[in-house]
Structure formats: C-alpha cells, structure tokens
Amino acid sequence: MISIAAENYDQIAGFGGDPWWIIAIKCVAIFVLLLLLTLFNIVFERKVVARMQHRVGPNRTGPMGWLQSLADGTKLMFKEDIIPKAADKVVYVLAPIVALIPAFLVLAVIPMGPEVSIFGETTRLQLTDLPVAVLFTLAIASVGVYGLMLAGWSSGSTYPLLGGLRSTAQVISYELVMGLSFVGVFLFAGTMSTSGIVAEQERMWYGIILLPSFIIYLISMVGETNRAPFDLPEAEGELVAGWGTEYSSFKYAMFFQAEYMNMVNVSAIATTLFLGGWMAPWPISAINDGMFNTGWWPLLWFLGKIILLMFLFIWLRGTLPRLRYDQFMHFCWKWLLPASLVWIVLVAAMRLAFNEGVERTEIFLYGGIAIAVMLVVSLLIPEKKEPEEPAEAAAEPEFDAYASGPHPVPPMPGQTFTHTRVPAATAASRTSDDSPDEESSRA
C-alpha cells in the first residue's frame, strides 16, 4: 500500500501547492474558454457546412459573420419562456441545469500545457489531477446525460419522453464502448492520471500505437454527444426535436450550450489520451530540442487539436445521413463491443510480451502472419448459399389499395401494386354530391 501511495503521489506531483488566487484564475479561465469555444464552434460549424453545400453561411453579424452565435444566444435569452401545463415544473427547470453544470467540470483534470509563470508564480496549465482522472471524466459525462433524460420525462409529452428513452439507451451503450477504448491506454501508460498519460506519449502518440482504440473512441464520442449521424434522441423527422421539444428561451440555450461544451470535452479527452495532449506534432517538436513544447506554445497545439476534432464532428454531420435506431444499436452491441474486447486481449498480450523482453519487430511480424492467416482462411470458407426458389411460384393475389376503406394503403413488402382505381363508395359520394346546376355546368 505504501508503494502504491508513493507512486500515485509521483503521478500527481506539482498539484495542490498553488495559492488560492492562481486556482481562481484557472477556474475562471476554464469557464471563459468553454464559453468562447462554444461561440466559435457554432459559427465554425455553420460556415464549414455552408462551404460543403456551396452556400455562403453566416456573413452579416460581426466581422465576416463571426458574432452570429453571440446574436443567437442574446435572442434566446430575451424570448418568451414557456412551461407546458402538463410538465413537472421542478424537474423541468432543473433538467437544463443538470445538463450544463457537468460540462464545465471535465476540463478541470485535462492538462493544457506544462509549467508556466503567471504573475511570478510557477504553475501548471491544469487545474488539478487525480490518480483516476480519466474515470472522473467518465463519471461526469454520465451525470450530464441525466439532464436529457429528466427533460424528456418532465415535459409531459410523448415525443420528449421517447427522446429521453433513446438518450438512456444510447449513453448506456456507447459509454460502455468508450470506457473499453481507454483500457489499452491504461495498459500502456500504467496510470489513469491525465498528466501522466500525456508524459508517457513523449516518444509516440497512443493514437498511432493503439489505432483501433482511437478509432473506437472517435465513434463512441460521436454517439456520446448525440451528434449526427447518431442524433437519434433529437431526430427532427421522427420526434420533432426529441427531449428538447417543449423547451424554449434560455433553458433551450442551456441545452444547446451543454451539447457544444461536451463536444469540446470529448475532443479534449481524445487529445489527452491519444494525440499527445499539449505536445507539438513531430516535425515541430524536434525544432531546437523541443523549444515549442515549453512555455505557452503547448496551449496553441492543444487548442489546434481540439479544433481539428471539432472539424471531424462537422464533417460527419455534413456527410452522413442519420441511421435507423436498430442499425445504431446493432452497430454498437454487435460490432464495436466485440471488437473492443478482442482488441483489449491483443493489447494485453502485446504489453506482456514487451515486459518479457520480446522485440517489437517480432511482435509485429508474428501478428502480421496471424492476421494474414485469418484473412486467407476467411476467403477459403465457402459462402452460405440461399435456398433456391421453386420454379413455379404461387400466384400472388392482386393487391387492392382501397380494400380497407376509402383511403389508399401502400403495399406491403412482396406485394405488387398493379393499378389504381377509385373506390365505389367515393365514386357514389361524388355522384350524390353533384347538384343539377353543377351537372348542367359540366355538360
């Protein structure tokens, strides 16, 4: 126990000794940074999607339209706040608060740079760190989704309730996969401290070594934040606006802000765990013995990586259509989850081989041979043939679109719509409704 405690102390050394005013400056800086990134990302998304669709995008409010999101937020603050009559008012008001507050807490354990000097005090560009900081981020993300669930339940309407139920299933599914994608990082880094994980990536980013884990995390972070093509809880074509249907004014703005803050949070986690954190990319990091990895420069690399991942969010929204809900859950439980478990076993075996002194070239050689053998075996397995249909199939009955009433019904799969006819009841009603004057005028 003493050795474990000493090891944890080494992992989070340098924290806890800052004066109170430095801690206050860091808290305010994180708050302001999230607000500014939210305003920036909203306009950034609209401009990028407009460019993808050959449109102009925001260009009126502020220089080149960059103050459009500020104008939209101000408009929402002054709009009428409507509370539905059937809503549970207490929970209805608390839901956006529950969704927004956890979004401010994730960046508290994310390292944004090395030690710097602030008004003569040497401190790290990180509010605090924990021996289990990554698990802390998962816990905070789990709390935030309760806001969506409570919003759907408390609205007293059917569509918000369905959106809340979808949020529940979606978060349970994709948070599980997200947690499994972190296991490979823990095995290689030997710590769950965010600053320790960044320090272990000095030679090679884990996004390269653990590429499957990185890809799985990228997919799960899109599902975690309810972004297209995984925006099933707020599908406009099916649920009007999902859990947020009955919200307006500043409460809706709080949900909107929480969504974009969570996008920044999951991008910051991906940067910390897989993209080297605040460290500069390879060509720049090699200049003058890592001169650009000191001082305030790393903050620029950290923000640049976050914006790059935000562009990935926007790219997916402008490219992929929304999935069906069954496809969405099928993809998680039957593809991502088994792939994550298999990859964890391979990473554990690879890490054990490293600890036993096996060279990396041998591991990659034998691993490549094993993958090649599996591919060859999969190609040799014959495909399952579908049973042949009988030569003379039974004649299908003719489909009548008006068999069930005066309104036409579309055919079911396998039925053939041959012709259209006006039902007798409709024709009779039309004939009886015609007046003599109308008949004479038609003649």
Tens of pLDDT, residues 111-131: 998 888 888 888 888 988 989
Rounded Cα distance between 160 and 421, Å, is 40
Most confidently modeled range among 123-132, 278-287, 362-371, 404-413: 123-132
More confident residue, 282 or 205: 205
Question: What is the pLDDT confidence band of residue 318, given thresholds at 50, 70 and 90?
Answer: confident
25-29, 203-207, 229-233, 408-412 — which is least confidently predicted?
Answer: 408-412
The average pLDDT across 427-434 equals 50
pLDDT for 321 equals 84
pLDDT for 24 equals 92
Question: What is the pLDDT confidence band of residue 428, given thresholds at 50, 70 and 90?
Answer: low
pLDDT at 8 over 70: no
DSSP state for residue 88 in the 8-state scheme: -
Question: What is the pLDDT confidence band of residue 10, given thresholds at 50, 70 and 90?
Answer: very low
Specify the residue for token string 């249907």: 245
235 phi and psi angles, rounded to 5 deg = -65, 110
Cβ within 8 Å of residue 285, ≥6 positions away: 279, 292, 293
- Asked whether the beta carbons of 173 and 333 are under 8 A apart, the reply is yes
131 phi and psi angles, rounded to 5 deg = -60, -25
Question: What is the pLDDT confidence band of residue 293, given thresholds at 50, 70 and 90?
Answer: confident
Is residue 35 exposed (0-12), middle (13-18) or buried (19+ Cβ within 10 Å)? middle
Chain-centre distance for alpha carbon 51: 22
115 phi and psi angles, rounded to 5 deg = -70, 135
More confident residue, 435 or 183: 183
pLDDT for 414 equals 67
Q: How large is the angle between the packed helices 211-224 and 249-274, nearest 10 degrees?
A: 180
Question: What is the pLDDT confidence band of residue 14, given thresholds at 50, 70 and 90?
Answer: low
What separation, in Å, do the N-terminal and C-terminal C-alpha atoms of the chain show? 102
Q: Give per-residue pLDDT as tens, 332-383.
A: 888 899 999 999 998 888 888 877 777 767 766 777 787 788 778 877 777 6
- Asked whether the beta carbons of 18 and 120 are under 8 A apart, the reply is no
pLDDT at 181 over 80: yes
Rounded Cα distance between 141 and 104, Å, is 11
The average pLDDT across 9-33 equals 80
pLDDT at 405 over 80: no
- Asked whether the beta carbons of 176 and 337 are under 8 A apart, the reply is yes
